[in-house]
Copies of this chain bind each other. A is one copy, B any other.
């Protein structure tokens, strides 16, 4: 296949997330901002004097298209965010995220009014639901390409392991879940007296970035009253570009969606957005109301108590991090970032196609190219696996590129994780699947 010139560039206008020197400048500004806050902490009222909802009027409804300057954003933090914060000054020092926000700007800097009042756990326990849970009859559905945490999480939630379905998704559907196959599996379960509970649809699977057909799958699930969750952890980020948005068609039919900006939206671990159509159901299941957490804003239903959306009580102010990312890059640059990665993947796909020793294993959708070395078509599969394993080991031994591998269908694959082949930058979002 030969080597690329080390000065080779994909595109001279390629999006560059942040120059180290620009980072240095912004981070020094941030340090002074935090040190000044820490120095003046005693001038703030300990408990926020802001009224619930005050932030909605102060902030725009949507993310800006163009980037905003770091100075503008910091001014907004000072003027709009800090007045809504309870100044728990724990004596730890590297901490902007320790603020316990009374009012937290969510994904779109909107404040959602809590849809149902907290009630005591005993009231929210529905005997019929629990009778079902302990009956061992509840069934959950994913494909054999669904993320490995699907099985773990369902087991942890008390789903009997033999009721955790992994609908086979092979190369005939490009590793996407088939609505026809799903209906067959559900029908068989219903006939056996089981109760379908939950379906996980994936937009961008881990192995091959396959996209399950959301709308058709949701249609099937809705026929049985099944909760539909969309795992768009990786692929969801691409949907900020209009050309990818159709992968979310049918989203109005689902119950929840998760998206991890730390995967492909310039945010760091861990940053996961969860959208729930009816948050009241979550609150019913998870709210507790110990006396020491009671307060007027919560009891007036004018704020969202995120403690009722999760198991733990405390939360880090991760929304602030994402808000900083959205404002400092703007939609325009975030789209450029996604498109730049996709463009590089397309280019690599071209290299694979033009070299007869390699073959594409599955069509490229986002920024992952799945390919394998197959110099002598018709070779014995075991020989091919060995060949690709050797290629993988050889590439990784160079240290300049990190390849991971996967198995999709019945053949062994290897995927390259991280870039470096352009000698310009390394990104974990381009994974080039070999074998």
Contact = CB atoms under 8 A, between A and B. Distances in A.
B290 A406 contact: yes
Contacts of A407: 291
A148 B91 contact: no
B405 A292 contact: yes
Given A87-B426, A160-B134, A20 B47 contact: no
A356 interface: no
A223 interface: no
Which of under 10, 10 to 19, 20 to 34, or 35 or more describes the interface residues of A? 35 or more
A116 interface: no
Contacts of A266: 90-92
A121 B151 contact: yes
- Per DSSP, chain A at the interface is loop
B399 A47 contact: yes
Interface in A321-362: 321, 325, 337
A95 B262 CA distance: 11
B31 A312 contact: no
A377 interface: no
Nearest to A98: B268
Given A121-B151, A311-B156, A35 B46 contact: no
Given A88-B418, A149-B288, 9 more contacts: A20-B38, A41-B426, A46-B426, A47-B396, A49-B399, A91-B266, A149-B312, A158-B159, A207-B291
Interface of A: 17-18, 20-21, 23-24, 26-28, 30-32, 34-36, 38-39, 41-42, 45-47, 49, 86-95, 97-98, 121-122, 125, 130, 133-136, 147-149, 151-153, 155-162, 206-207, 262, 266-270, 285-286, 288, 290-295, 311-316, 321, 325, 337, 396, 399-402, 404-407, 412, 415, 418, 420, 423, 425-429
